[in-house]
A and B are shown apart, each in its own frame.
Chain A
Amino acid sequence: MARKMVFIDTSLCTGCKACSVACKAWNDLPAEKTQRISSYQTQADFTPNTWTYVRFREEYKDKKMRFNMLKLQCFHCADPACMKACSSQAIYKTESGYTLIDKDKCIGCGYCAANCPWGVPKIDEAANKAYKCTGCIDRVESGMKPACAQTCQPGAIQFGDYDEIMPQAQARVAELQLTNPKAHLYGNELMGGTTYVYLLQDRPDAYGLPLNPTTPISLTLWKDIVYPLGGIAIGASAAAITCGVIVNLVRGNYANRAKNIAASHDEGGK
């Protein structure tokens, strides 16, 4: 299947949270009791039953207020840190650009949760498995839009083939830049290129997003340096002792062992 893209245009978002509800409806996730976090935000973070929610930031400039609203979910990175972190081969990529968790292989270790630069995957303690937005892969593979995109009334979530949506996204940025030079795309150049790309109207931190999300250096060190070097060290050690045994055999050190040990010990001198 061709590479897909989901374009989230924050300039069209009204903060209605219907995407969060649609996600629950399609994915059989029960409603949860919410409480006000700040502004109109009612969800602090992802939970096993909430894979997408809207984050609200109020920005005041020149006595005017703007809501910086952001529908959050997994970005579905092309080069995902979560997948690199997983030792159990439970995370995989689809050709269409989605990052998915195989629940049968997942052991609940939380390596993915600790290494995603956006803190997306979490561990469902009850199930002892990682969870996150699936991108509605079941819908997408049947030719439907993801539930959140399907439901969004102002059309802030556009879904389609990458080749088709990307030019639309770029045209929209160009249009907004005429009045707001800060408008830009967020995601397409991060983590190998994300499937979910945002149009932001201000710097990423104004939305509570990291400016420079990357694969942690510690993760590269762990997987690309420590593992192979550790393997080499163990292999070298095993090879060295094998040679040690052979060389000792050849030198006759085993044959002479008893004799060497029995040789009387002349205490105090050699």
Chain B
Amino acid sequence: MAKEVYRFSAGERFVHWCHGVAFLLLLFTGLGVLVYAFQPAMNVFGGIQVTRNIHRVVAVLFTLGMIIGFIGKGQGARQMRRWFKDVINFRKDDFDHAKNFGIEFFGGHKPFPPQGKFNGGEKLNSMFTILGTLCIVTSGYIMWFASGPSLLLQWAYPIHAACALFMAALLIAHLYLGILHPDSNQALKGIFTGWVPAKFAYEHYEKWYNEEAKETMKG
């Protein structure tokens, strides 16, 4: 078996999948309201009134999942906090990785400076997701609980819709890189089992590999 290194703890994987599944459910049920032509699709769950309620129930689970993932002393929560600190710390090396995003996306390659646990492109995706999530959650609760015409409620609508649509666009690219892209999809195993190929880790996250991952090598 090829050598592997440990990348994602159980806690991180749990938060990732809670977020992913909840996002898809929220997107699906939200689109039933946003796009009229999409409304008949809501019948798979029993109709638009059912999916409107599912949207709210999943929203609460989604919010709780996010919060619980970050609190406490467990390894998972510590890793989540580390991820957060890492990705908002965007420096020149990260920029020099992210600027070649287009080339890598279409299967080319250009050398980039050694990357930490999260590379420049991942940091950008993470930052968009953090910002989008904060905005969509806040606007969502306003849409849920505010009533009557008010500026707060009126502005919540375009913010909620914008975050939903732009994060959906981001998700499409994220799925491509994780599943379809012949080089970066080596990471896919990591988000299921926690382990990624050592060679892949070295090539993509040289700094992290040398400083941390190497010690976990197995196989």
Residues of A within 8 A of B (CB): 85, 87-89, 107, 109-111, 113-117, 119, 128, 216, 218-219, 221-222, 225-227, 229-231, 233-234, 236-238, 240-241, 243-245, 247-248, 251, 253-254, 257, 260-263, 265, 267
Contacts and interface: CB of A to CB of B under 8 A. Distances in A.
A87 B30 CA distance: 11
Nearest to A251: B107
Given A241-B172, A244-B181, A115 B149 contact: yes
A87 B34 contact: yes
The A interface is mostly helix, strand or loop, or mixed, namely helix
Contacts of A219: 154, 157-158
B155 interface: yes
B70 to A, nearest CB: 28
Contact of A260 (B2, B155, B183, B198): B183
Contact of A218 (B36, B48, B157, B168): B157
Given A88-B36, A110-B147, A240-B105, A261 B48 contact: no
Given A87-B34, A227-B161, A244-B181, A237 B173 contact: yes
Nearest to A225: B158
A88 B39 contact: yes
B36 A87 contact: yes
Given A237-B169, A261-B197, A265-B198, A107 B180 contact: no
B29 to A, nearest CB: 12
A12 B147 CA distance: 35
Contact of B183 (A115, A119, A216, A253): A253
A216 B155 CA distance: 9
B162 interface: yes
B166 interface: yes
A115 B182 contact: no
Give the residue among B105, B170, B175, B197 with the most A Cβ atoms within 10 A: B105
